[in-house]
Amino acid sequence: MNKIVECIPNFSEGRDSNIIKEIEEAIINTKNVILLEHSSDYDHNRSVFTFMGSMEGVYDAMYKATSVAVNSIDLTKHEGKHPRIGAVDVIPLVPVQNVTMEECVELSKTLAERIYNELGLPVYLYENSASKPHRTNLADIRRGEFEGLVEKMQSEDWKPDYGTKPHPTAGAVVIGARKPLIAFNMQLNTANIEIATEIAKKIREKNGGLKCVKALGIMLETKNTAQVSVNLTDYTVTSLFEVFDTVCNEASKMGYEVVSSELIGLSPARAFIDTAARYLKLENYSYKKIIESHLLNLEI
Amino acid sequence: MNKIVECIPNFSEGRDSNIIKEIEEAIINTKNVILLEHSSDYDHNRSVFTFMGSMEGVYDAMYKATSVAVNSIDLTKHEGKHPRIGAVDVIPLVPVQNVTMEECVELSKTLAERIYNELGLPVYLYENSASKPHRTNLADIRRGEFEGLVEKMQSEDWKPDYGTKPHPTAGAVVIGARKPLIAFNMQLNTANIEIATEIAKKIREKNGGLKCVKALGIMLETKNTAQVSVNLTDYTVTSLFEVFDTVCNEASKMGYEVVSSELIGLSPARAFIDTAARYLKLENYSYKKIIESHLLNLEI
């Protein structure tokens, strides 16, 4: 079984289709890599690509795509709703098959080194690759954004892991290995955003709710629907089942219900398999009851 | 990606641990094969092995295990609750990864030919390998059991696909490629088997219920619990979600509920993933939202 890594780079360009196309081509023209999803948002002025491949494939594709971004995206002229510190803002690397978190951390550092050495782009390592505990969280690294980078990098706490000062037009990039994150939204049968916000507050870890859950109430204007938007950072700690069930219960207490849900990006199979086992009340469940769980043990 | 096939042979020996061990060793000592599960039942006097591997691995392991069974199990002295026609009673072959049903049918015929030529064991092909429509169903082939084989084989309809008369002590074997079957049982909060039987009647295809569902009411004496026992022969036609939900609803109509469930043997991942998507009311679900669904497209 080959070692497979997923990569979900975020670029600070969601409007210029030529630049977006050039980034996409850098990825899809690389060997041993496949593009899984791509979305660009005008208001955020941001594009997200999801691709996966061998360690070498992901390394090559990501270096090339970063090179395009550094040469084409000028942060001094960039505006958009989403916070960002660089032309390529963040590069998460996620183990998918036959690969350890440690190997992904190693890959993130090799990639970071080349990006700094050859493109002059300073790098912060985050999540499992972080060099210090206070630099684990993306939001903390990104605080102050591109415009605040010169000042931020002078503080001892926020000296980059590679480099010392921002790239003049491309800023800096955050790179790191992390567990798969599940971005999962639930729609309520109400247009009252207060209800969604109330539920979000109850379930998020920050307010004493479910571990590994970040949540927001969001108004979907076009659908006239209130949505509870969730990022689940470790589905092995809090299951997707638990998130959904808790939101359903909280909504029900207020006289509402969850009418539908949506998945942003992709999810690992196991998050869904565990959820089904809980729903089915399966008493003899273990992941070994799933045929495909044994494929990795078959080294042929 | 390697071609992987699952094989779930049933042997007519559940008591003599030496013979059972010899069969197991024939499987586990074969290259490119892994044993996933094994269960032996004294009352049924029957053992079921679940293993998977490459096409060649499964072919080798299954030939060797059959050879052990033909030499060690004497059906003229066999008694047990479960219907059977041979020492190795049935050999289902199921596509798991990167393999078509047609390739599994081909494998079943190659294996059948060798088993007949070298061990003198006549073979009926069933399910997707069946040579005639009336020979698709295992229960029809097995009707009359070992004791009725001499007579059965004289009828034009029941001439074996390989061979003309039963092996004197090992009878005959049924071999074929089929879709994965999910054996799934649901326990009710009652010890009244009539309730389970009533639900089973309502949901099974034979009585106009759910397609691809076979169901029975069973009394679990040791647990003092009534159980609805289901075989789902194609989860892409009727989902596991639908089976569970329908049983829950039927139970609820009679004032009962499903308190737990169990999986006999293994299940393909997708049956569980589809079930979770339904439970989560995921409106943008497709199997492509699952990262691992793309692994097959990554030919590295």
Asked if A97 lies within 8 A of B244 by C-beta distance, the reply is no
> Which residues lie below 8 Å from residue B146, measured CB to CB, with a gap of 6+?
B75, B78, B84, B85, B86, B166, B171
Cβ-contact B158, B76 below 8 angstroms: no
B46: helix, coil or strand? Answer: strand
CATH number at residue A246: 3.30.70.670
Residue type, A205: E
- Separation of alpha carbons A152 and A160, rounded Å: 9
Asked if A283 lies within 8 A of B260 by C-beta distance, the reply is yes
- Both B169 and B218 in one domain: the answer is no
Q: Does B296 contact chain A (CB < 8 Å)?
A: no
- Both B85 and B163 in one domain: the answer is yes
- Both A163 and A75 in one domain: the answer is yes
B276 to chain A nearest CA, in Å?
5
Within a domain: residue A299? Answer: no
- Separation of alpha carbons A231 and A8, rounded Å: 15
Instruction: Please list every residue in chain B whose beta carbon sits closer than 8 Å to the beta carbon of residue A241.
Output: 276, 279
Report in angstroms the alpha-carbon separations of A239 from A253, B35, B139, B224, B240: 21, 30, 41, 32, 20
Q: pLDDT, tens digit, for every residue of A56-109?
A: 999 999 999 999 999 999 999 998 888 999 999 999 999 999 999 999 999 999
- Both B172 and B186 in one domain: the answer is no
Per 3-state DSSP, chain B is made up of helix, strand and coil in percentages (nearest 5) of: 40, 25, 35
Q: In what order do the strands lie in the sheet with A213-220?
A: A213-220, A225-232, A182-188, A258-264
Cβ-contact A106, A153 below 8 angstroms: no
Judge residue A101's burial from the number of C-beta atoms within 10 Å of its C-beta, 0-12 exposed, 13-18 middle, 19 or more buried.
middle
A123-125/A173-177 β-pairing: parallel
Paired with B263 in beta bridges are B184
- Both B157 and B113 in one domain: the answer is yes
B34 phi/psi in degrees, rounded to 5: -130, 140
Q: pLDDT, tens digit, for every residue of A275-291?
A: 999 999 999 999 999 99
Within a domain: residue A145? Answer: yes
B238 to chain A nearest CA, in Å?
15
Q: pLDDT, tens digit, for every residue of A10-24?
A: 999 999 999 999 999
Whole-prediction pTM: 0.91
Chain A residue at shortest CA distance from B276: A276
- Both A55 and A152 in one domain: the answer is yes
Residue B23: name the closest of B84, B58, B68, B71 by CA.
Answer: B68
- Both B153 and B203 in one domain: the answer is no
Within a domain: residue B299? Answer: no
Q: pLDDT tens track of chain B, all 300 residues?
A: 789 999 999 999 999 999 999 999 999 999 999 999 999 998 889 999 999 999 999 999 999 999 999 999 999 999 988 899 999 999 999 999 999 999 999 999 999 999 999 999 999 999 999 999 999 999 999 999 999 999 999 999 999 999 999 999 999 999 999 999 999 999 999 999 999 999 999 999 999 999 999 999 999 888 899 999 999 999 999 999 999 999 999 999 999 999 999 999 999 999 999 999 999 999 999 999 999 999 877 766
CATH number at residue A33: 3.30.990.10
- Both B149 and B190 in one domain: the answer is no
Paired with B184 in beta bridges are B230, B263
DSSP states of B144-184: TTGGGHHHHHHSGGG--SB-SS-BTTTB-EEEEE----EEE
H or E element: which one contains A63? helix A55-72
- Both A101 and A38 in one domain: the answer is yes
* Of the residues A114, A148, A177, the one at which a domain ends: A177
* Of the residues A177, A192, A212, the one at which a domain ends: A177
Cβ-contact A115, A123 below 8 angstroms: yes
Within a domain: residue A300? Answer: no
Q: Which domain holds residue B95?
A: 4-177
- Both A65 and A204 in one domain: the answer is no
Cβ-contact B243, B213 below 8 angstroms: yes
If phi > 0 it is left, if psi is from -120 to 50 it is alpha, else beta; for residue B224 that is: left
- Both B161 and B66 in one domain: the answer is yes
Catalytic annotation on A44?
A: no
Q: Which positions 85-124 of B are in contact with A (Cβ < 8 Å)?
A: 96-97
- Both A144 and A216 in one domain: the answer is no
Q: Which of A30, A295, A297 to mutate to test the interface with B (most CBs of B within 10 A)?
A: A295
Give me chain A's average pLDDT, please.
Answer: 96
* Of the residues B119, B144, B177, the one at which a domain ends: B177
Paired with B50 in beta bridges are B37
- Separation of alpha carbons B58 and B93, rounded Å: 9
- Separation of alpha carbons B73 and B119, rounded Å: 13
User: What ipTM does the predicted assembly reach?
Assistant: 0.91
Cβ-contact B204, B156 below 8 angstroms: no
Residues B59/B60/B65/B70 CA torsion (nearest 10 deg): 80
Selecting from B36, B281, B291 the residue whose C-beta is nearest the C-beta of A269 gives B291
Q: Which positions 123-182 of A are in contact with B (Cβ < 8 Å)?
A: 180
Question: Domain total for chain A?
Answer: 2
